[in-house]
Each structure stands twice: as C-alpha cells, then as structure tokens.
Amino acid sequence: MTRSSKRLHLDLWRVLVLSIPLFFLPFTLYTFEPDKAALLRAVIILLAATFLLSRGPLPPVDAPTLLAVSLWVWTGLAVAASMEPARSLWGEPRWGQGWITLTAFVLLFLMARRALATTARQRAVLDAIIAASVPVSLYAVAQAIGLDPFGFSAPWERAQSTFSHANALGGYLVMVMPLAWARWREADQKLPWAAVIGIQALALLLTLSRSAWIAGAAAAWLFAMIYARSKVARITLAGAGLAGVATITVLTLLPTAPPTAPEWWQSLSGLVRLSSPTVQVRLNVWMATLRAIAEAPLFGWGPETLNLALPPYIPAELALYGNLKAVAGRAHNDLLEWALFAGLPAAVLYAALLATGIQAGIQRSTHLPLLIGLGAGVFNHLLDVSTITSSMLVWLYLGILTAAPAKVHARARPGPIARTAVLVGAGGLIMLVSVRPVVADTFGRSALALHTIGATEAAAEAVAWAARLDVRPTAYTWLQADIHGEDARSDLESALIRTPTDLDLVDRMVEIERVRALQTGEWTAAYAQCDILIEASPANPDVHMRCGDLRLWARDPEGARRFYEEAAALAPAYYQPYANLATVHRWLEDPVLADHYAERAEAARRAWEQAINQR
C-alpha cells in the first residue's frame, strides 16, 4: 500500500469500531441491530474496496483462513436449503444477521489478518474500540439518572445505552474493559485510563447483566491461570476462583430476594438459581433447539429461522414466560444457533476457528487482554445473544490474534478501469445491502406510527413502500395484515405457503377469519386456521387457548372448555387456562367448577408472580 492508502485503510478500521457501537436510528422499525448491520456492511465494503485497490498482500492460505472460508461456504449451502432462503440471506428483521452479514464478518477477519498485523496498527484500532466505549458508557449512566432523550430506558432501570438490550451492552463492555485495563497498566499517566475503566465498570453494573458478569469473570480467571508463571500466582488465582464459586453457592442457597427488593439484589440473588425465569427460558429454548437440530443435523433449518423452526418443538413450560417472544428469535447460545441455522458441521467449524484463534493468542504473551476480551465474548455468547457489535469484536479479535505479517508485498497495482469498476461496484453494493434495508425499515416504522394514530390510508402507502423495498417477501406481511385486515388475506396466504410455522402470521389469519365469521356466521374457515395453528406448535398452551377463545366468540362454550383443558394439561403451572375455564363454567352456569377454577387460577397466578419477580 502507498502511505496515503494505508492511512485511509486504517482510518476506515477506526470508523468501523467507533461507529458500530454508537450507531442507531430512532426512526426505524427495530432501531438497533438491523441499523448496525447495515452500517457494518457499508464500512466493510469500503474496507474491501481500499484493500483491493491497494498493493497490499492477500490473506494467507492457512488453517484460520480455510476454517473461516469453509464456514462461510457451508452456511451459504444452508441458505440454499433454508426453509426461508430470503430471510436466511438477509437476516431476521429484528437482527439482520443473515449470510450477507456473515460475509462481512468473514471479510473483516481475513482483512484484519493482513492489515492489522503490526503492533502500531493494532494499537490504533484497539484504542478506537476503547474510545467508543466511553460515550456508550456515559449514555448508560445518563439513562440511569433519567437523562435519556430517546426514552429507551426509564430512570434506575437496567441501562441499555445504544444497544437493543441491557444484556447486549454488558456483553460489549466485558469485551472492551480488558483492553482499557492493559492500557492502564502500561500508561505513565494512569488517572485518565482509571477514569475510563471506572465509567465502563459503572455502566456494566447498571446493566444488571448476569451473563456478562459471569462471562467476564470466567474469561479473566481462565486466561490469567493459563498465563500465570509462578506457583504463588496460581495458588492466588485458584483461591480467587474458589472464593467466586463459594460466593455464587451462598447466593444460590440464600432465600430469593422479594419483589420489593432493589433490582441489583434480585439480580445477585438469582445469579445461577435454576428456578429463575431467565434461566428457565434459556433451558427450555435450548431443549427445543436441540430437538430441532436432531431433525436437520446436516444443513440445519437455515440462518435466522429460529422463530420458524422451533414452534413444533416448544416445551409447554415456555408459555409461562412468553413463549418465543421471550427469546426474540435467538437461542441464547452461539454454538446451538450455528447448529440450528447451518447444521452440526457449521458449529464444529466455528468452534475450531475459535480454538485456533485462542491457541494463537496463548502463544503470544502480549495478547492477554485480547484473549480475555475474546473469551468474555465467547462465554457471553454461550449464555446470551450475539449482537452485531459483539460479533464484530469476536471476528476482529480473532483476526488480530491470528494476524500473519506478509513477507512478500508485491501485488500488481490495479489500472484505472479496474479502480473505477471497484468503486462503482462498492457504491452499488452499499446501496443494495445497506441503504435499501434502512429505507425500507424507515417506511415500516412510519407505517406502524401512522396505523397507531388511525391514519390508515397513509399507513397502507408506507407499508407498501416498505414491502417493495425489502427483498424478504414476508418481512412486512404482519404489518400489512394489521393495517389492511381482510384485504391482506392474499398476502397472508402467500406468506404462509412459504412459512407455515410462522405463528404470528397464522395467528393473524385466525383473526381475519374470526372477523369474517362474526359477519357471516360461518366459522368453518376460522376453525380450520386454528387446526393449522395447533399443528404448527402442538405443545404450546397459548395456541390451544387462542382456539378456545375462538370457540367463545362462536358461542360454543363446550368447545372452548375442551381447548382450555388441553392448555391446562400441557402447562399445569400456567394460570391463564384456569382463569378462562372459570369464565367458561360461569357461562355454563356451573358455579362450583367456576369457583374451583378461579381459585386454581389465583393460586397459580401468585406462584407465577413470585417466580417471575426472581430476575
């Protein structure tokens, strides 16, 4: 590379790691992750363009490169075999982590192995990562004291800053704090770096993210043990580990914090308590994911298809915590997601790539902070969701840890035609994979806002533009159904041919049929949609209750009773079926059974509230 092109390339790396954590668009439908994904793709395209136009060396053909490229190719095959290829290609609307985003991550990894092979360039990029965490952390503190101009977080609630959830912020901070700690250790002026670490630590505490706390502590302890050279250091670290385990054990054995206790005490009280709702949600989703993986072990169900693949395997107990809405389309475990989305070979390839990067880092003693950050990210991704920002850092850290300085730098300089073609191609790709999705998402947000205030015609026009611009055929079908009602029947039917297990779309079809049946008195079509709903998720109590509600609308209390009893049998601890059964028996003029089920509903509701208040 020439000096100017090297400077431009390094500046683009800085732009990438500075902008992704900070970036969000409050006027788009999902605000955080899809917007970050769009920006990530755009910057990676620019990085790739400058890389191609330079005379810098290509990435080496070795084990890390072969693993990353093999993972990318295998996932591409999984996209081709996906139950919804468009969603797998572009990503689930709320997350944007489809194959195109994976392509950006793989390119980032390959370019980092060459472009960030020197200590000076690594230092420049890592310092930019630390710099980005400062405003992110300050915004988290501002949210905690009630100074959030966007209203994402109420005062003294869990801080989320510029991320979609507090856990996502926590996962990001535990990956960055080791870098700041390393700069503090080597700095002559320690106070500024101490202030940076202090604000990061405060923001991490305000997230109340137990998965991040555990991941950060586990990674720091593990790699400190690996790098410990003296016997005294190892004994000290072993003692610290035992003290940590003892503390967690004591917290687990202590009585659960009452609902009126401060939220931080509830978080500590339920740190690893199996009865905690967050733990139960994960265990139930992991079980459902394992069942789904067993049905498609080779290529999986396709990237980003969790909400479509899991309904037939959902345990009934998950209804107590909101069913699939409780996990927002993620398995909360990276390896399970790789296996679900692209098959067991993809999970093995990803694990092998991580192991290769960690092994390379262990061999270089100067990379302890990076190893701790990578380990914290990997551990957190095994307990929680992987976001655009945390995944970017994982791939970047892997690239730096496996960086390979080139011995030969000679590469033909592209001619003017080639340079023009690369620049035009980069601009076109940015418009396609970054600008277009954001514009579509903006129209979607506008449609939802207009529909909320009753401006139906304007909402219909906005959602039509969103559907035209988004390349995923079913991305806005749910919103079209909400706005158009009966007029959206054909769109819903087309979408359900593609994704028959999309419970949100099936439920909207049930609603359309219910409205029509109330007008015509003919309930056969509505009942048929209910049968489809149950077939899509047979162990889901909420599905059975939906069908029971439909029978009540049809003035068929006996039919409703049957569905409510099935829901209660599936999830005996779920209070809602008992409440509905009490209503049915009052309708049937059976006060004894009505009172019996009302009492059961109240007892189950109290037990549920006590459980749900255990964070």
Per the CB < 8 A criterion, the answer to whether 474 and 496 are in contact is no
Q: State mean pLDDT over 491-504.
A: 83
Report the C-alpha gap between 508 and 486 in whole angstroms. Answer: 10
Question: Which of 145-154, 279-288, 372-381, 558-567 has the lowest average pLDDT?
Answer: 145-154
- Own/partner pairs for 131-134, CB < 8 Å, 24+ apart? 131/18, 132/17, 132/18, 132/19, 132/20, 132/21, 132/22, 132/176, 133/21, 133/172, 133/173, 133/176, 133/177, 133/180, 133/196, 133/200, 134/196, 134/199, 134/200
Distance of CA 408 to the CA centre of its chain: 41
| Residue 425: pLDDT band with limits 50, 70, 90 | confident
| Residue 445: pLDDT band with limits 50, 70, 90 | confident
Helix 210-227 / helix 368-383 crossing angle, nearest 10 deg: 140
Taking alpha carbons only, the member of 233, 232, 269 closest to residue 254 is: 269
**Position 521: which residue type?**
G
Report the C-alpha gap between 390 and 419 in whole angstroms. Answer: 33
Burial of 413 (0-12, 13-18, 19+ CB in 10 A): exposed
Q: Which residues contact 119 (CB under 8 A, 6 or more apart)?
A: none
Q: In this predicted structure, what is the pLDDT of residue 344?
A: 97
Burial of 250 (0-12, 13-18, 19+ CB in 10 A): exposed
**Position 199: which residue type?**
I
Q: Which tokens hold the place of 13?
A: 């790396």
Q: State mean pLDDT over 472-485.
A: 84
Tens of pLDDT along 179-220?
Answer: 999 999 888 888 999 999 999 999 999 998 888 999 999 898
Question: Which of 40-54, 268-282, 311-325 has the lowest average pLDDT?
Answer: 268-282
Q: In this predicted structure, what is the pLDDT of residue 32?
A: 87
Report the C-alpha gap between 337 and 396 in whole angstroms. Answer: 20
Tell whether the model's pLDDT for residue 267 goes beyond 70.
Answer: no
Q: In this predicted structure, what is the pLDDT of residue 258?
A: 58
Tell whether the model's pLDDT for residue 54 goes beyond 90.
Answer: no
Q: Is the pTM of this model over 0.85?
A: yes
- Share above pLDDT 90 across residues of the chain, in percent, rounded to a whole number: 40
**What are the distances in angstroms from CA 322 to CA 80, 315, 403, 405?**
32, 12, 44, 50
Report the C-alpha gap between 341 and 71 in whole angstroms. Answer: 12
Tell whether the model's pLDDT for residue 378 goes beyond 90.
Answer: yes
Q: Which tokens hold the place of 615?
A: 């964070």
Report the C-alpha gap between 59 and 40 in whole angstroms. Answer: 20
DSSP 223-246: HHHHH--SHHHHHHHHHHHHHHHH
Report the C-alpha gap between 206 and 158 in whole angstroms. Answer: 6
Q: Is 537 left (phi over 0), alpha (psi -120 to 50) or beta?
A: beta
Tens of pLDDT along 155-176?
Answer: 667 889 999 889 999 999 999 9
Q: In this predicted structure, what is the pLDDT of residue 136?
A: 96
Apex 40 CA angle, 467 and 356, nearest 5: 125
Q: Is the dihedral of CA 608, 611, 613, 615 positive or negative?
A: negative
